[in-house]
Chains A and B, each alone.
Chain A
């Protein structure tokens, strides 16, 4: 069964169409990479799939639940890592993660485990505002996978991360994590390498939808022209 099934999805802000007639299908364990210039609707698509935005038209099924009606059934099974870390700057990494652990009914031990995996145990008791952006991003990765989500929605997940940090978070959000993933990317080469399916968006409309194997990086670059 498809983990994500979208048919003719539209979402508008007033008169502006942010998404218009987007369709896609993603099997469990697969990775979809979404390309497109800024403002093409990538973030809107992620927010719709995350149940944060209601679709205005079309059929959206995420992990078997129809959105927006059955959104309650998938909350807590989705991990979102967007541009914003969704963390409180005044709280420490540990406090932030514990807060989310309580919301998701996850044991506190999981917080410690993840802090260790993103190598932040030694800075875990400093307020986030005193950490570097890369460190905050690592905390955000830990937050996104805290509840062991089946579906990961990632918006340029490796921005702000140095190569060492990328290696740290890859087991959590990379292809090795075994999770179904939807990733927004601007990096044709890197994005293509981890994709099973590629979706290209332009002005909210699907400009490209193909299996990654049949695609060359130049075709993706073409999207940005």
Chain B
């Protein structure tokens, strides 16, 4: 059920990304002060926005998980946060490059958005170790959800605090999209759409892969039981930080899918 629409999504992601790149290089005007370097803005800012939205989405999925106890919501939450962490690394790297180019330093502390992003990133970096440190998968999922909700609420609050603490010394490209020249704004929006699509596609791939693996395990167990051997053939990995939807939950949904 996760695989559905994956191809269409992948194709549109590639198309929008290609369009975005074309716009960045051939359509968007050179910025007066920073020149060519400013074009990293079309990658960096959408990455940051998508990563932050991913973190918050992880929190929303986690709320669903706590309410329904359905392990699939935990899997959504896990994948969203996991992917946001990867996008977060990319954000920090592109941000550093940009900072080096425009201000001559790899890191600037008076850029509140960057600093608060770093704090958020450091917080979410403990998500995986937290999961890894809890053996019982159900408790792991529940604790991870509690973390995801707390951290999700922390994201906006942290931005308020850090932003208020920093005087605006630097001219900021990203004040508001409305201040941009229309060509830049269009390019930016297309880039944002492209990155958002990329995020969604990757998440969907990961969900599909996890789901398929769980289904396979469930089927194996079922086959084992039918064959009369009580012991599972595929031993579960000794420890795992990734959520695995339990076999009984999966078999319960098996009839929905054709081909099984």
A contacts, CB < 8 Å to B? 12-15, 56-57, 203
Contact = CB atoms under 8 A, between A and B. Distances in A.
Main secondary structure of the interface of A (DSSP, over half): loop
A15 B236 CA distance: 7
B247 interface: yes
B194 interface: no
Contacts of B232: 15
B230 A13 contact: no
Contacts of B135: 13-14
B58 interface: no
B137 A13 contact: yes
Contacts of B248: 12, 56-57
Contacts of A56: 248
Given A13-B137, A15-B236, A203 B230 contact: yes
Interface in B222-259: 230, 232, 236, 244, 246-248
Contacts, number: 23
A14 B137 contact: yes
Given A13-B135, A15-B246, A203-B230, 4 more contacts: A14-B135, A14-B138, A14-B246, A15-B221
Interface in B98-138: 135-138
A128 to B, nearest CB: 28
A15 B217 CA distance: 10
A15 B138 contact: no
B230 A14 contact: no
A214 B244 CA distance: 44
A13 B138 contact: yes
Contacts of B244: 14-15
Contacts of B217: 15
Q: Which of A12, A15, A56, A57 has the most CB of B within 10 A?
A: A15
A15 B135 CA distance: 12
Contacts of A13: 135-138
B116 to A, nearest CB: 37
Contacts of A12: 246, 248
20 contacts: A12-B246, A12-B248, A13-B135, A13-B136, A13-B137, A13-B138, A14-B135, A14-B136, A14-B138, A14-B236, A14-B244, A15-B217, A15-B221, A15-B232, A15-B236, A15-B244, A15-B246, A15-B247, A56-B248, A203-B230
Nearest to A203: B230
A13 B248 CA distance: 12
Contacts of A14: 135-138, 236, 244, 246
A14 B138 CA distance: 7
A1 to B, nearest CB: 30
A56 B246 CA distance: 11
Interface string B192-223: 00000000000000000000000001000100
Contacts of A15: 217, 221, 232, 236, 244, 246-247
Nearest to A205: B230
A44 to B, nearest CB: 12
A48 to B, nearest CB: 14
The 9 closest A-B pairs by CB, nearest first: A14-B137, A15-B236, A13-B136, A15-B247, A14-B236, A12-B246, A14-B136, A15-B232, A15-B246
B53 to A, nearest CB: 31
A10 to B, nearest CB: 8
A56 B247 CA distance: 13
A13 B140 CA distance: 11
Nearest to A56: B248
A81 B162 CA distance: 51
Nearest to B137: A14
A58 to B, nearest CB: 12
